[in-house]
């Protein structure tokens, strides 16, 4: 077992005195007979991109030699947000910390060989660096300019374009009703999420991380410490730390401990379309209507997030609805790109955003009371690109008791209780 260092203020680190203790109370009572008991320094609930990233960065640290167990209910990952996402990365955020977080995401996605090589083999994540293009009407221009100013302070390679400049660069666009646009010149694009996930998992396994198929159904606490994680198959894992990486189901995991987490599963559709036109190296384009599209090989994918008071119910189903394509997506696409008038819908899928209803930003780090519970939740549609920085940050926290490279503490759970949002405006 790895020693758990004291916290910076000298108080014992969470898990330091609890994890070797036999769990008190009702272990197994909620699930019938306990069939196996094991111990882990770190139990990660959910093994998709966030869980695998935390596991990889932690296992790679020379100052950590503890046992890491990743528990995943669906090892096919077919229903995870990770494999159902649009798999894109940008630096055009409105929150400076999100820009820094994506910057490290870019470093890893652009250079997976530096982080994920195993026996000389590197995952092929196929990064397509076409940029993001945010479009604005008069109503959105001030926000676009505000975000641009935030981004330029951090040297993000981004440029504001007038409608005329926009059309000069992208002659396929209808700019009649636009007031301006913001284009990322480098460091933005899309990649193969499945390859990235498999790359993280392979790296984690090569470093000794244990992947376990199972569903976490209960978590026991012992005062202000989590003591035991219980699986549906009766396994009981005495845990030093527990990382909640359960994506859209994160609030269910928190609720097992009586903790309220304002993360809700919200369905998002991705429509895969064919158009009788090539737009060259088109960027991922975000229309003022909220509809976005980007090339996907020779075809395109498109989607939208509900705006204003449009319904956006909590749901964990993955049933695809094609009606919004006809009603919302296609009209917006055809308006913006006249050549899209003749689209053909090839297929469509649904996935879940894990929406932080307070401020559309991630919730990362320890619970203020249950200090050996770590959150990595609420990414609200940008978790894939944030996985590298969040994994690295939580690994630092577990191993050393502090964030060392990038201070993620503004994203801590405390702001939830205080109702102090750090609102991300650029949500796609």
Rule CB under 6 A: choose which of 49, 99, 226, 355 binds ligand FAD: 49
Measured at CB, which residue is nearest to ligand FAD? 383
Q: Residues 289-328: x/- map of binding to ligand FAD (CB under 6 A)?
A: ----------------------------------------
H helices, E strands: number in the chain: 11, 18
Q: Which is nearer to ligand FAD, 46 or 365 (CB)?
A: 46
**Residues contacting ligand FAD: total by CB under 6 A:** 39
> How many whole angstroms separate alpha carbon 102 and alpha carbon 116?
17
Q: Is 81 in the site for ligand FAD (CB under 6 A)?
A: yes
Rule CB under 6 A: choose which of 175, 204, 270, 291 binds ligand FAD: 270
Q: Is 286 in the site for ligand FAD (CB under 6 A)?
A: no
Q: Which is nearer to ligand FAD, 136 or 219 (CB)?
A: 219
Q: What is the 3-state secondary structure (H, E, C) of 31-72?
A: CCCCCEEEEEEEEEECCCHHHHHHHHHHHCCCCCCCCEEEEE
Give the number of C-alpha atoms closer than 13 A to the C-alpha of residue 403, restricted to the C-beta side. Answer: 18
> How many whole angstroms separate alpha carbon 180 and alpha carbon 145?
9
Closest CA to 329 of 316, 311, 348: 348
Rule CB under 6 A: choose which of 14, 23, 28, 51 binds ligand FAD: 51
Cα(first)–Cα(last) distance of the chain, in Å?
42
Closest CA to 385 of 100, 135, 114: 100
Q: Which is nearer to ligand FAD, 265 or 366 (CB)?
A: 265
Q: Is 85 in the site for ligand FAD (CB under 6 A)?
A: yes
Which span sits near ligand FAD by CB under 6 A: 110-118, 203-211, 243-251, 323-331?
A: 243-251
Q: Is 379 in the site for ligand FAD (CB under 6 A)?
A: yes
DSSP 8-state code for residue 5:
P
Rule CB under 6 A: choose which of 43, 54, 64, 82 binds ligand FAD: 82
Q: Which residues pair with 236 in a beta bridge?
A: 37, 230
Closest CA to 256 of 80, 43, 51: 43
User: What does the binding site for ligand FAD look like in residue numbers (CB under 6 A)?
Assistant: 45-46, 48-51, 71-74, 77, 80-82, 84-88, 215-216, 245-249, 253, 268, 270, 351-354, 379, 381-385
């Amino acid at each position: 077992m790895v020693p758990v260092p004291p916290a910076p203020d000298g108080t014992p680190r969470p898990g330091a005195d609890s994890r070797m203790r036999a769990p008190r109370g009702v272990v197994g009572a909620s699930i019938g007979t306990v069939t196996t008991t094991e111990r882990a320094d770190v139990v990660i609930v959910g093994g998709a991109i966030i869980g695998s990233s935390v596991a990889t960065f932690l296992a790679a640290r020379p100052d950590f030699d503890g046992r890491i167990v990743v528990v995943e209910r669906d090892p096919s990952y077919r229903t995870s947000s990770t494999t159902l996402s649009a798999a894109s990365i940008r630096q055009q955020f409105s929150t400076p910390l999100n820009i820094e977080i994506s910057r490290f995401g870019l470093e890893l996605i652009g250079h997976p060989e530096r982080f994920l090589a195993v026996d000389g083999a590197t995952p092929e994540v196929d990064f397509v660096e076409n940029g993001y293009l945010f479009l604005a009407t008069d109503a959105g221009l001030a926000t676009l300019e505000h975000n641009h100013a935030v981004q330029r302070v951090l040297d993000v390679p981004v440029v504001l374009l007038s409608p005329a400049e926009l059309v000069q660069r992208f002659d396929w666009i209808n700019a009649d009703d636009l007031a301006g646009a913001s284009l990322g010149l480098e460091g933005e694009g899309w990649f193969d999420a499945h390859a990235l996930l498999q790359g993280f998992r392979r790296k984690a396994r090569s470093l000794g991380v244990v992947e376990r198929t199972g569903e976490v159904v209960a978590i026991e606490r012992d005062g202000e410490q989590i003591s035991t994680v219980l699986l549906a198959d009766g396994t009981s894992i005495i845990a030093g730390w527990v990382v909640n990486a359960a994506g859209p189901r994160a609030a269910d995991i928190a609720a097992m401990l009586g903790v309220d987490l304002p993360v809700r599963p919200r369905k998002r559709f991705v429509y895969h379309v064919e158009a009788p036109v090539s737009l060259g190296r088109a960027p991922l384009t975000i229309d003022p209507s909220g509809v976005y599209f980007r090339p996907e090989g020779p075809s395109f994918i498109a989607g939208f997030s509900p705006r204003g008071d449009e319904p956006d119910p909590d749901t964990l189903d993955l049933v695809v609805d094609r009606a919004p394509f006809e009603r919302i997506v296609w009209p917006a696409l055809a308006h913006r790109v006249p050549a899209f008038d003749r689209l053909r819908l090839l297929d469509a899928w649904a996935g879940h955003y894990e929406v932080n209803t307070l401020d559309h930003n991630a919730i990362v780090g320890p619970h203020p009371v249950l200090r050996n519970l770590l959150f990595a939740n609420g990414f609200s549609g940008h978790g894939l690109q944030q996985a590298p920085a969040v994994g690295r940050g939580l690994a630092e926290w577990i191993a050393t008791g502090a964030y060392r490279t990038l201070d993620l503490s503004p994203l801590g759970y405390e702001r939830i209780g205080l109702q102090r949002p750090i609102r991300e405006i650029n949500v796609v």
